[in-house]
Amino acid sequence: MKALFTKKSKNMKRSALILFVAASLMFCFAFALVPLYDIFCDITGINGKTKDIAAKESRLVDQSRKVSVEFIAYSNPKLGWIFEPEIKRISVFPGETHRTAYLATNLTQHDSVGQAVPSVTPGLAAKYLNKIECFCFNRQELNAGEKAKLPLVFYVSPDIPKEIHTLTLAYTLFKSTSEPADK
């Protein structure tokens, strides 16, 4: 009888160890998933992520075709701002630099800080939209009731595949968790 309990005890300890190791591996995998996904998106160009650095301006212009670029703006209601593109759509030659802006108005009674997060659709086109100057590179500080014109200078790479005729550049504006620099 004692041998039976010893065998059960060994089996229970072994099972517990296996479960602990499996749970630890799953926990580690969960933490590694986000960086692995970012690497996968960088390699494949999916998910519509754009680079958060300014692009270089020297390139050739492809005047044999035009690409339509649509601009969309979303604002988190907790921010209390009106946020919209200056223009809704523009037709561009790949390689040609264009300047536009988004407009923001702080409707609240207090100063606040917003941060814009860009995305491009179709996702594969994100690597062909290059921002030279973008308000999304920095936090935007607006005083109570203040309005601002947020600049965007970009070009569509001449390497963009011929089957992509339209890009949509969307910005979602969120409330920044940090206070303005002067406070």
pLDDT tens, 96-127? 999 999 999 999 999 999 999 999 999 888 88
* Pairing assessment for the beta strands 140-142 and 89-92 based on DSSP bridges: unpaired
Are residues 114 and 170 located together in one domain of the fold? yes
Write the pLDDT tens digit of every residue in 133-173.
999 889 999 999 999 999 999 999 999 999 999 999 999 99
In this structure, the answer to whether residues 88 and 120 fall within a common structural domain is yes
Work out how many domains the chain is built from and give that number. 2
CATH number of the domain to which 144 belongs: 2.60.370.10
DSSP annotation of 152 reads: E
Give yes or no: residues 40 and 71 share one domain: no
Q: Which of 57, 69, 122, 65 is nearest to 93 (CA)?
A: 65
Please give the structure tokens belonging to residue 36. Answer: 């692995």
Q: Is residue 58 part of a domain?
A: no
Cis peptide before 77 (omega within 30 of 0): no
pLDDT at 176: 84
Burial status of residue 9 (CB atoms within 10 A of its CB: 0-12, 13-18, 19 or more): exposed
**Residue 73 shares a structural domain with residue 158:** yes
Query: What are the residues whose beta carbons fall under 8 Å from the beta carbon of 111, sequence distance 6 or more?
Result: 141, 142, 143, 144, 180, 183
Domain limits for position 157:
67-175
- 183 domain residue, yes or no: no
Residue 57's SS3 state is coil
- Looking at the structure, do residues 28 and 71 belong to the same domain, yes or no? no
Higher per-residue pLDDT: 54 or 107: 107
72 and 155 housed in the same domain: yes
Residue 50 forms part of a structural domain: no
Alpha carbons 49 and 32: distance in angstroms, whole number: 19
pLDDT of residue 132 exceeding 50, the answer is: yes
**Do residues 50 and 121 touch, judged by C-beta distance below 8 A?**
no
pLDDT at 72 over 90: yes
Residue 41 corresponds to which tokens in the numbers above? 């998106």
